[in-house]
């Protein structure tokens, strides 16, 4: 990951632990080749269940960003899970991540805006001011950028 977000991320993870959760980073920076491999594996998984190649790709792209478009390739996104599979941690992150400069990137109620299925584990660093504004408005990053570019 980008070293500029390390202190904020570490602080968030420590406070999450103090809240009783067991966070760990499942995924952070990925190369383009790693992203391609993840996409290929997901397509193969859907092909094995009976989807055609085109259908498998379409379904996979609901979960995996095409290489060159993944936020993980920027070093500013992390996937955070709980070691004990406590899904309550996702609620804690959703309510608190903005204080550390992170936003929940793909929420269930915004799939139509982002085009990505619900990923309660995926957080993107945008800085504290921007994260706070996005949290207060309930916008996605796409909505925030569209609104602020129009000013």
| Secondary structure E strands in 54-117 | 77-82, 102-106
Q: Which two structure tokens, joined as six digits, stand for 102? A: 């992170």
Q: Compute the distance between CA of residue 151 and CA of residue 130 in angstroms, rounded to an integer.
A: 15
The answer to whether 116 and 71 have CB atoms below 8 angstroms apart is no
- Verify whether residue 41 is a known catalytic residue: no
The count of C-alpha atoms lying within 13 angstroms of the C-alpha of 60, restricted to the half-sphere facing its C-beta, is 24
Q: What are phi and psi of 51, to 5 degrees?
A: -70, 150
CA pair distance 110, 70, nearest whole angstrom: 18
Q: Pick the catalytic residue from 55, 83, 84, 119.
A: 119
- Residues forming the active site: 119
């Amino acid at each position: 990951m980008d070293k500029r977000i390390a202190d904020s991320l570490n602080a968030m993870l420590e406070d999450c632990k103090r809240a009783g959760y067991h966070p760990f980073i499942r995924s952070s920076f990925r190369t383009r080749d790693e992203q391609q491999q993840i996409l290929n594996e997901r397509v193969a998984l859907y092909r094995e269940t009976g989807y055609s190649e085109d259908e498998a790709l379409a379904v996979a792209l609901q979960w995996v960003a095409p290489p060159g478009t993944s936020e993980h390739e920027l070093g500013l996104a992390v996937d955070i899970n709980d070691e004990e599979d406590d899904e309550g941690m996702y609620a804690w992150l959703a309510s608190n991540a903005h204080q550390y400069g992170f936003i929940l990137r793909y929420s269930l109620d915004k799939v139509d805006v982002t085009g990505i299925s619900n990923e309660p584990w995926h957080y993107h660093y945008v800085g504290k001011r921007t994260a706070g504004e996005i949290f207060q408005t309930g916008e996605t990053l796409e909505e925030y950028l569209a609104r602020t570019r129009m000013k």
